[in-house]
Amino acid sequence: MRQFSNAQLDGRKRVQAGRRLADDAYLQIRDQIITVSIPPGAPLDEDALADELKIGLTPVREALKRLRLERLAVIYPRRGTFAAEINISDERWLTEVRVELEGLAAALAAERASEDDLLGLKSLLDTMETADDPVELMSIDTELHRAIYASARNPFLEDTLNQYLNLALRIWHYCLNRMPEHTSHDCDQHAVVRAICDRDVVAARAAAEEHLRSFSEEVRTLLI
């Protein structure tokens, strides 16, 4: 069995701590971009973000690299890094892909979800019952999507769907901020969760696809 020296163990701890800081920076900056708290096209200044998040420059730089790969940020030579612009027409293309993958994730979750996974899904539905603010409802709906992706037990599918979900959510927040009088959103995922809990693969796929199509139609009503 391989033995590590104290110096090697300390080095591994430093690497792990650095990864956690980069992950935390990524999540905080990502969520600001998704909710358009950082508007499309706004500069992502490394020094300012490091000060805001109270961390070093290295985790911020790692986070920005990841955000560029996920199309939430873009770098312009000699100008710097900026929050990506929003192209409304992307919504249709995202939906074309997401309908297929969301259905697959729900079907796999119906097969593979653990009992703890199912309890978590039911708990999120219960939380949604008491929420009435549209942004809060969307936040819980997002958690449900992410929980279903995780329950599918396919890391490649989970990563892909989370990336597409982030891009779609950003369009929704952008539309809502521009037209706040349109505040309704059908976040009902009861049919999806019920089918997953019943281990009904066919029904889970169909319900997830229908839920996503309804969401897409609502986003488009905000654009009319």
Q: Which domain holds residue 158?
A: 90-223
Residues 76 and 165 in one domain: no
pLDDT of residue 119: 97
- Burial group, residue 7, by CB count within 10 angstroms (0-12, 13-18, 19+): exposed
For 148-181, the pLDDT digits (tens) are 999 999 999 999 999 999 999 999 888 877 765 5
Residues 68 and 129 in one domain: no
* Count of alpha carbons within 13 angstroms of residue 133, beta-carbon side: 4
| Residue 1 within any structural domain of the chain | no
Residues 60 and 95 in one domain: no
Number of structural domains (the chain) is 2
CATH number of the domain that 101 lies in?
1.20.120.530
Please, what is the Cα angle at 101 between 62 and 114, to 5 degrees?
85
pLDDT of residue 11: 43
Which 8-state DSSP code applies to residue 71? T
pLDDT of residue 101: 98
Residues 53 and 98 in one domain: no
Q: What is the pTM of this model?
A: 0.84
Q: What gap in Å lies between CA 193 and CA 211, rounded to an integer?
A: 11
Query: At which of 27, 61, 83 does a domain end?
Result: 83
Q: Virtual CA dihedral for 73, 26, 175, 149, nearest 10 degrees?
A: 110
| Residue 28 within any structural domain of the chain | yes
Q: Along the chain (224 residues), what's the average pLDDT of each consecutive run of 10 residues?
A: 53 57 95 95 96 94 96 94 93 94 98 97 91 82 96 98 95 78 64 97 97 86 67
pLDDT of residue 116: 97
Residues 103 and 198 in one domain: yes
Residues 69 and 96 in one domain: no
CATH number of the domain that 78 lies in?
1.10.10.10
Q: What gap in Å lies between CA 199 and CA 202, rounded to an integer?
A: 9
* Count of alpha carbons within 13 angstroms of residue 197, beta-carbon side: 14
Residues 55 and 102 in one domain: no
Give 23's contacts (C-beta < 8 A, 6+ positions apart). none
pLDDT of residue 186: 55
